[in-house]
Every structure is written in structure tokens, then in C-alpha cells.
Amino acid sequence: MSYLENKRIIVTGGSGFLGKYVVEKLKNEGYSDIFVPRRNDYDLIHMKDIERLYTESDPDVVIHLAAVVGGIGVNEENPGRFFYGNLMMGVQMMEQGRLYGINKFIAIGTICSYPKFAQVPFKEKELWNGYPEETNAPYGLAKKMMLVQSQAYRQQYGFNSIFLLLVNLYGPGDNFDPSSSHVIPALIRKCFDAIENEEDKIVVWGTGKATREFLYVEDAAEGIVLAAKGYNKSEPVNIGAGFEISIKELVDLIVQFTGFKGDVVWDTKKPDGQPRRCLDVSKAKNEFGFKARKRFEDGLKTTIEWYKRKSASLNYGNIR
């Protein structure tokens, strides 16, 4: 029987990009007793709001997706806000969950927690063998503190919490705001804006040599739900697709799929971020049967087509 059977589930961040897919996945599997706290009602940085959330929603299980997050630029501009917001939400959600007596806490971490020069593919056992890449270290370290807390609480209190490390996500419904978006939606929007404005070039940060791994958001939701249903150990688990692609190769694909005909100019004064990123995903498969399904090029085309359809209504421009 699934661990979630007949459980009341809180999904923090459940109205966000990933959260909507997780909630939909839960409902499709028959778990209907789901509560999604709204930020206007509960600011999860504040202890009193978290206490009230637990009292009013009476959960058995918490899937903590809420995060303060963005791309390299917004990370560089907001290291303090990203550190404090993510740390306080995670630490207090778990502590108050323990005090309230919830049955299980699913903490969502990030590939940004890995050391800057971790050996590729990143294995969970390498998580502490160095400092994260500087531009997103405050965010990555704040999220990683949930792993420390999770393991300490299991040891001392027998508290059932797990920690999942996610790679960069993409897919329909992503954040396409150029001031805060991650690389895939940022590049898609750059290309379409250039087409719309009849511009002959786009400018891309860095050298293009850095590599990244991307996971389709529906696959990520499936991995989280599988872990919530059947994984109950202290050790962290990578959730990813198990491949890497250079930023240059990524740009080439997006240029091709969007139909942009101009030049790509590399702004090498801007940072590349972490040199390489790719997860070893064998533990997720072995422990709870997760394996990413979506082929990357297919997911990229689906995301681009979604953006083309929705751009006008979402005020992202007037793509023809």
C-alpha cells in the first residue's frame, strides 16, 4: 500500500511551476485530500504563519516545494534574500512539522548544492566534498541544510523525512520573466522577442562551454510522488534525467526550434556558473523505480509550442 493512502497532504509551492504538476499527479493517482497554502495567507518565512498552517490544515504529509529561486543573474543580485528565505522556510517547516506530529516530510533540494568541481556524474556521496559554485552557493547551501536537519531529526526524534536533489526543470508553465527565469525559458523568450522585434542577434551569457542537465517538469513530479509514496531513508536521492548538454548545444537547439535566423553573440564577461552538471540517477531507480521518460528534444519542442500559444494571454509579448 502507498505511504500516501488516506493521508492529508500539504504541498507548499503547490501553485508554482513544479507544484501544479505535483498536485495534478497526486490527484490523478487518487489522492484528493490535498491542501495548497497560498502566500497571501501563509508567509512561510514567518514561524507564526507556519504554526497556523499546520493547525488549520491538519496534515499527515508535507511536500515542501516552496522556494526563492531564479537564474544566475538574480542569484548574484540576491544572495542574502535567497539564503535567508530558503533556510527559514525549510528549517521552520520541518521543525513545526515535527512538533505537530506529521508522518512524513519530503524536502526538495537542488543540484546547486553540489560542489563546484564535483566529479561528473554527481553521486549523492560527493555532496560534501567541496564548496558549491559561487553564484548560487547561498541558495544551494540553504537548501542543503534541510538534509542536515532531516538526518539529525531522524536520528534523534525518529522523524520520517527524506531529501531529494532536483536538477534544473523546464516545461510548459515555466517562468519566462527575463529578470528571474532560468536558462531554457530565458533563451526561448530571447529568440521570440528578437523575431518579433526583427532583431538580427541575441546575446547569451558566458562562453557556452558549461554543461547542464534538464528534467521535464512532468517527470520531476512523478519522481517526487514516487519518493513520497515509497522512500523512507535518510540518504539523499538525485532526481534527474542523467544526461548533460553544453549551453552552446542548448542554444543551437532553441535557435533551430524557434526559427530565429540571426546571430548568437556570447557575452564572455558574464559568468558561466558551474562548469559541468549531470547527476547519477541510479539510486532513484533502484530505491523507488524512478526513471525520466521525456526525451529532451521532444520536451523542448513542447515547451516552445506552449510558449507560442500562451504568450499573448500571459503578457509575454505578441508572437505571431
pLDDT of residue 3: 80
Q: For the ranges 71-80, 84-93, 143-152, which has the lowest average pLDDT?
A: 71-80
At 283, phi and psi to the nearest 5? -65, -40
Higher pLDDT, residue 314 or 69: 69
pLDDT of residue 213: 96
10, containing H or E segment: strand 9-12
Domain segments of the chain as ranges: 9-170+213-239
Distance CA 19, CA 85 (A): 18
pLDDT of residue 75: 74
Q: For the ranges 73-77, 191-195, 236-240, 287-291, which has the lowest average pLDDT?
A: 73-77
Q: What share of the chain has pLDDT > 90, as a percent?
A: 87
At 168, phi and psi to the nearest 5? -60, 135
Considering only CA atoms, which of 194, 192, 170, 191 is closest in space to residue 181? 170
What is the mean pLDDT of the segment spanning 209-225? 97
pLDDT of residue 305: 96
pLDDT of residue 177: 87
Higher pLDDT, residue 78 or 319: 78
168: cell is 534544473
Q: Say which CATH class 9-170+213-239 falls into.
A: alpha beta
Say which of 139, 216, 231, 316 is annotated catalytic. 139
Burial tier of 100 (Cβ tally within 10 Å: 0-12, 13-18, 19+): middle
Q: What is the pLDDT of residues 22-42, one digit of tens each?
A: 999 999 999 999 999 999 999
139 is catalytic: yes
Q: What is the mean pLDDT of the chain?
A: 93
- Per-position DSSP letters for 168-210, written without gaps between them: EEESTT----TTT--HHHHHHHHHHHHHHTT-SEEEEES-S--
Q: For the ranges 24-28, 65-69, 215-219, which has the lowest average pLDDT?
A: 65-69
Return the bridge partners of 168, or none. Answer: 214
* Cα 110 to chain centroid, rounded: 7
What is the mean pLDDT of the segment spanning 163-188? 92
pLDDT of residue 77: 87
97: cell is 512539522
Is the pTM here over 0.75, yes or no?
yes
pLDDT of residue 1: 60
Distance CA 171, CA 165 (A): 18
What is the band of 318 on the pLDDT scale with cuts at 50, 70, 90? very low
Residue 317 pLDDT exceeds 50:
no
pLDDT of residue 313: 54
- Most distant CA atoms of the chain, gap in Å: 62
pLDDT of residue 316: 46
Residue 274 pLDDT exceeds 50:
yes
Residue 319 pLDDT exceeds 50:
no
What is the band of 88 on the pLDDT scale with cuts at 50, 70, 90? very high
pLDDT of residue 271: 85
